[in-house]
Amino acid sequence: MTLLAAIAMFAPGLVAFLLILMVTLPLVMLIEMLPTLWLYVTPALLVYALLRFVPGIGRRALKLMPSAVLAMTVAASFIVPVLMNTESQRRAAMLLSSDSGTVPRMPDGVSIMYVSDHPLADTKCEEECQRFLFTGVARSFGVAKPGASTIRGSIASPAVIHRIVPLAQGCDNRLLRDVFADDDEVARGERRYLSEKLRQFRVKGQCFRSDPVQDVRADFVLVETASSLEPRRAENWSDLRFHRITFSRREIFRRDGDGLVPILRRTYAEYAPLKIPLMFRPPFVFDTATPGEWMRHEWVALEREEPRGMARWASNDFRVTGL
């Protein structure tokens, strides 16, 4: 097939596609912009309609007043998002202003209680749990949901305590999550699980076990919570607002007698700034109805430079050896 023959074959379809695109693309853009145009033009039209019923109003005023209202509305579409974005940034920064303390170095053999409100959080022994236990920093690592009384008393739904116990107490690895070791913990090219450390414990007559408990008191309490000052996205018309701010918080408490002393608080906050000029996204209905929303830029994160991984909880050496 020659080049000219190929062009002749595909040219009609390509031309038809371009013609359809020339019609539909402006139409889609118009539909997207109609709610915003309606917001800008409606006040001017309303003023014009009211002035027509005012006795003695001149033609000049009848033209100038709606134009002035339209100009003020357009000006507001630039001023309002600038002011709202500045306020959103201030509110997000305020969340970080209460941060305090430094990452502690924990003594060996302490008891740890980890509390998280993450919707996917469960009671299994994840990487943090295994590294605390397998390095000997913690003699027990508990997992609980927020609402647990970590100071005194019990909770309605039991938490789970993970421990290294004598073989005589029985072993139970069902809540032990498979977690790969880091590259510096194994030979080059190998892939091993942290749980392989249990072979060394078994030689010493010990094994892993998980038990539900009511008493959630511990030497150190690690807390991770997430919250939102406003809904992250509009679920209904009552959620339509200028500010979208969410944050998560990491806190460490140390037991002191019958109470807990805060020793670290770190906050991660983010906000979604409005687009300039202010534009309105129309409602969308597919399988579920989505209400209208102000158009926004990508989320902007506010956080301090902090260590990652295990170093965010303690400055101990959490490398698991002997795998």
Q: Mind listing the pLDDT tens digit for each residue in 234-252?
A: 555 555 678 889 898 999 9
Within 10 angstroms of residue 168's Cβ, the number of other Cβ atoms is 8
Judge whether residue 153 has pLDDT over 50: no
Q: Domain check: are 133 and 177 in the same one? A: yes
Closest by CA position to 88, among listed 244, 226, 240:
244
Mean pLDDT estimate for the chain: 82
d(CA 72, CA 194): 64
The DSSP code for 175 is T
Provide the greatest CA pair distance for the chain: 102
**Cβ-contact 247, 175 below 8 angstroms:** no
Q: Domain check: are 205 and 228 in the same one? A: no
d(CA 109, CA 197): 17
Domain membership of residue 246 as a residue range: 222-311
Q: Domain check: are 129 and 140 in the same one? A: yes
55 within some domain: no
Q: Domain check: are 181 and 252 in the same one? A: no
Please say which residue of 220, 240, 260 terminates a domain.
220
Within 10 angstroms of residue 320's Cβ, the number of other Cβ atoms is 22
Q: Domain check: are 240 and 211 in the same one? A: no
The DSSP code for 121 is -
Judge whether residue 21 has pLDDT over 90: no
Task: Determine which of 8-12, 44-48, 255-259 has the lowest per-residue pLDDT on average.
Answer: 8-12
Task: Determine which of 23-27, 45-49, 75-79, 85-89 has the lowest per-residue pLDDT on average.
Answer: 23-27
Within 10 angstroms of residue 187's Cβ, the number of other Cβ atoms is 8
Average pLDDT of the segment spanning 167-191: 87
143 within some domain: yes
Judge whether residue 150 has pLDDT over 70: no
Q: Domain check: are 226 and 216 in the same one? A: no
Residue with tokens 């379809």: 13
Judge whether residue 66 has pLDDT over 80: no
The pLDDT > 90 percentage for the chain reads: 43
pLDDT given for residue 154 in this prediction: 47
Q: Domain check: are 250 and 152 in the same one? A: no
pLDDT given for residue 295 in this prediction: 86
Residue with tokens 């359809």: 20
pTM of the model: 0.76
Closest by CA position to 83, among listed 292, 276, 303:
276
Judge whether residue 151 has pLDDT over 60: no
Judge whether residue 156 has pLDDT over 50: no
The torsion defined by the Cα of 206, 218, 142 and 145, in degrees rounded to 10, comes to 170
Band the pLDDT of 101: cuts 50, 70, 90: very high
Task: Determine which of 58-67, 197-206, 286-295 has the lowest per-residue pLDDT on average.
Answer: 286-295
Average pLDDT of the segment spanning 288-315: 82
pLDDT single digits (tens) 1-17: 565 665 666 666 666 66
d(CA 62, CA 2): 67
- Per the structure, the count of domains in the chain is 2
9 within some domain: no
Q: Domain check: are 200 and 248 in the same one? A: no
Judge whether residue 93 has pLDDT over 60: yes
Q: Domain check: are 229 and 181 in the same one? A: no
Average pLDDT of the segment spanning 126-130: 94
Residue 108's contacts (CB-CB under 8 Å, 6 or more residues apart) are: 136, 137
Q: Domain check: are 120 and 216 in the same one? A: yes
Tell which wins on pLDDT, 164 or 295. 164
Please say which residue of 180, 203, 220 terminates a domain.
220
Q: How far is CA 99 from CA 93, 137, 225, in A?
A: 11, 25, 14
The torsion defined by the Cα of 57, 58, 60 and 66, in degrees rounded to 10, comes to 20
d(CA 146, CA 116): 6
203 within some domain: yes
258 within some domain: yes
Q: Domain check: are 125 and 211 in the same one? A: yes
278 within some domain: yes
Q: Which long-range contacts (CB under 8 A, 24 or more apart) does 67-73 make?
A: 69/43, 69/44, 70/40, 70/41, 70/43, 70/44, 73/39, 73/40, 73/43, 73/44
188 within some domain: yes
pLDDT given for residue 293 in this prediction: 80
Q: Assign 243 to helix, strand or coil.
A: coil
- The strand pairing partners of 259, in sequence order, are 256
13 within some domain: no
pLDDT single digits (tens) 181-198: 998 888 777 888 999 999
Please say which residue of 190, 220, 250 terminates a domain.
220
Task: Determine which of 36-40, 189-193, 200-204, 246-250 has the lowest per-residue pLDDT on average.
Answer: 36-40
